[in-house]
Chain A
Amino acid sequence: MAEMSAELPITEADLQAYADGRLAEARRAEIEAWLASRPEEAERVEAYRRIHEELRAVYDPVLQEPVPERLHAAAAHPRRRLGRYGVAAAWLIAGLATGAVAGWQLHERRVAVPPPVAETPNFARRAAVAHATYSPEVRHPVEVGADQEDHLVAWLSKRLGAPIRAPKLDAVGYSLVGGRLLPGESGPVAHFMYQCSRGTRVTLYLRTEPGNNRETAFRYAREGNVGVFYWVDRRMGYALSSADIGKDELLNVANAAYRQLNP
């Protein structure tokens, strides 16, 4: 607009640019002169200017509000979020970039350990099926709700014969809905469900592993539309599933769970 010459007729776009204070000095003066003899138009443009100021007055204070943690987490690249696992994460990113299998070692000292029991795809597949079965459930997504979390954890620990925990995933935007007991291949399985404020659900599938596996590898599998990150730590196998979020976000949630379950 600023380049318009003096001969050009005054357009609606000029008036908008005038209200925004975006015209070059010469053009601005022309508009001013034009408006001087048209009080109705002048009033209209003045109202536009006022609207502009009111918008700023109402919404600029948002700039000063403290930023919620979940937004900080979303802005931080997975590489940064991982902190001391940064190197391993870089491997993962490189793996994803080349379309390779997303298998990676969290601890260098464990690199040489033989593949874990949970590497059998059955484990991930069962977790994915459990996710697909229960996560769309509206009325009965869980057997025991998060309001009875102590009871839930005590009950599932007793049935699995091992102390288990429901990790707190609120920092990454997911709160516990509750859990249930499921039949697994070789015994009972605990199934925790989490939900974010948008209603998206992720589920954590936990089972006991035979023997004492030292290995802790993060692996990714996809079963239908369900993505699963799974890993094993000593006597426990874990699988985190979701059908609604991308691999990056699922990895972020899996990392949060991992950090609590395998400190």
Chain B
Amino acid sequence: MNDAQRLVDLIPRLRRYARALVGERSTADDLVQDTLERAWSKFHLYRRGSDLRAWLFTVMHNVHVNRVRARRPTDPLEEEMPELALRAPQGDGLLVRDLERALERLPAEQREVLLLVSLEEMTYEEVARTLGIPIGTVMSRLSRAREKLRIMMLGLPASAKLKVVK
């Protein structure tokens, strides 16, 4: 399979991750597009035979960090989550939005780790390599991300919990 085809095959996964990372669909697709374009311009840096998926997620991480930094002069990756309790939702239509909003409130660095583990099912070692951080940092970010989400989700009435279709 050639490189372009492998990239094409990975688009749905890049989109899933990007959607969870930045929320809005067109912004997420912009991130994917920038990632693919950057991947081509940096393709000479990709080591043949190594995991293309992990490399692409590294590229996306870099693109995302640059975009966020360009948007806001302060460093939002270091920002702590505001101490806000989630408002109880007013109707069932908000179920998905609640998770999205809770995710949005995580610091980006914690969100990335959580999403690579949960959505991409990367091993903790793969996450560490992809983001270029020590594995201990992966574990502490994962733990903090989940604990914050848990507390935010606790603010919701039980009936508002998302139903998972098995």
Contact = CB atoms under 8 A, between A and B. Distances in A.
* Most chain A Cβ neighbours within 10 Å, of B16, B123, B165: B16
A76 B40 CA distance: 9
A77 B8 contact: no
Interface residues of B, number: 46
B32 interface: yes
Contacts of B37: 74, 246, 248-249
Contacts of A17: 124
Contacts of B154: 47
Interface string A67-86: 11011101111111000000
A246 B161 CA distance: 46
A50 B152 CA distance: 13
Given A67-B11, A74-B36, A44 B150 contact: yes
Contacts of A50: 161, 164
B153 A197 contact: no
A51 B147 CA distance: 10
A100 interface: no
B21 to A, nearest CB: 10
B116 to A, nearest CB: 11
A20 interface: yes
A56 B153 contact: no
A20 B143 CA distance: 12
Interface in A37-77: 44, 47-48, 50-60, 62-65, 67-68, 70-72, 74-77
A59 B114 CA distance: 13
A62 B8 contact: no
Nearest to B152: A51
B8 A16 contact: no
Contact of A55 (B13, B15, B33, B119): B119
A19 interface: yes
B13 A197 contact: no
A1 interface: yes
Contacts of B8: 67, 72, 75-76
Interface string B109-141: 000001101110001100000000000000110
Nearest to A80: B4
B33 A13 contact: no
B106 to A, nearest CB: 11
A248 B161 CA distance: 46
At the interface, is chain B mostly helix, strand, loop or mixed? helix
Contact of A77 (B4, B12, B146): B4
Nearest to A62: B16
Given A12-B143, A55-B118, A56-B118, A70 B33 contact: yes
A181 B150 CA distance: 60
Nearest to A77: B4
A246 B41 contact: yes
B92 interface: no
Contacts of B165: 57
A126 to B, nearest CB: 28
Contact of A16 (B19, B32, B143): B143
12 contacts: A13-B139, A50-B164, A51-B118, A51-B150, A54-B164, A68-B29, A74-B33, A75-B36, A76-B7, A76-B8, A77-B4, A248-B40
Q: Which 4 A-B pairs have the closest CB atoms?
A: A74-B36, A75-B7, A62-B16, A13-B139
Given A1-B124, A58-B99, 20 more contacts: A16-B139, A51-B118, A51-B153, A54-B162, A57-B164, A57-B165, A58-B96, A58-B100, A58-B162, A62-B16, A65-B12, A65-B15, A71-B29, A71-B36, A74-B40, A75-B11, A78-B40, A197-B30, A246-B37, A248-B40
Interface of A: 1, 12-13, 15-17, 19-20, 22, 44, 47-48, 50-60, 62-65, 67-68, 70-72, 74-80, 173, 197-198, 246, 248-249
